[in-house]
Amino acid sequence: MFWQEEQEEVTKKKEAGDEDKSLTWADTKRMPLTLRVIQETMRVASILSFTFREAVEDVEYEGESASSLPPCFLYAPENFSDPEKFDPSRFEASPKPNTFLPFGNGTHACPGNELAKLEMLVFLHHLTTKYR
């Protein structure tokens, strides 16, 4: 089974006899593996397409060039080693600045990003602890 070891690790951490115990805010803060799986999922299978300002043709200005090719920084080897591989452990350390922006950045960042991450965390927790 894909990621069976990780699922077993999450299940082992769940306290024995607490099958019906509600997930608490404190519990969500102790789920780094699940959060890394969410981050890696958003990196490899983002449903959003960013609206980048991009060149419609190759341009060079003062020694700098802008390519008309679409940006694919989530799969760039200089940003993520072995980018085609699904590897949640890559998020044990923070990625390089401005290379992982699943909810945008700055004033145009998604205002619901923390809620969305929490919803994904709760969903994955219940999926991995209640189903095989």
What distance lies between CA 59 and its chain's CA centroid? 32
Structure tokens at 116: 């969305």
Residue 72 labelled as part of a binding site: no
Tell me which amino acid residue 95 is: P
H or E element, residue 117? helix 113-130
Structure tokens at 115: 């809620």
> How many angstroms separate the CA atoms of 98 and 92, rounded?
17
As annotated, the binding site includes 110
- Known binding residues for heme: 110
